[in-house]
Amino acid sequence: MAAIDVDETARRRKRRGNEALLGQTANESSLTTVNDEPLGFSCECGRVGCSETVWMVGSHFQQVARSESVYLVAPGHCADDEHVIASTGGYLLVGPETHAPSPNNLHPTAA
């Protein structure tokens, strides 16, 4: 019994919106510097009616967004058939497999 009905279309729309937010912020500050401030991204759980805001550092989201199967969701918004890949107090990263970025990989090597 699926507790959460994930709407893939809504989810992808959220992802595009989040990517736009990231791009917007990058343009406002600098074209080459990714914002290291936490940004208010939309929860990508895909649940109908979900309007949660998830705070994540912009450069970390950029890493997450490289994988089309990994999504940023609010705590407790993981669907039954998904795995929690990373968990912090403020957000979860969920995906179908455990191959996705580990928390360590979310921190790019300092230049």
Q: Which residues bind Zn ion (CB under 5 A)?
A: 43, 45, 50, 52, 74, 77
Asked if 57 and 39 touch (Cβ cutoff 8 Å), the reply is yes
Considering beta carbons, is residue 15 or 77 the nearer one to Zn ion?
77
The least CB distance from residue 32 to Zn ion, in Å, is 32
Asked if 29 and 35 count as a contact pair (C-beta separation under 8 A), the reply is yes
Give the separation between CA 110 and CA 9, rounded to whole angstroms. 35
Q: Which is nearer to Zn ion, 19 or 52 (CB)?
A: 52
Question: Closer CB to Zn ion, residue 28 or residue 81?
Answer: 81
d(CA 67, CA 95): 9
Q: Max CA-CA distance within the chain?
A: 47
Q: How far is the CB of 94 from Zn ion (least distance, A)?
A: 10
Q: Tell me the closest approach of the beta carbon of residue 63 to Zn ion, in angstroms.
A: 20
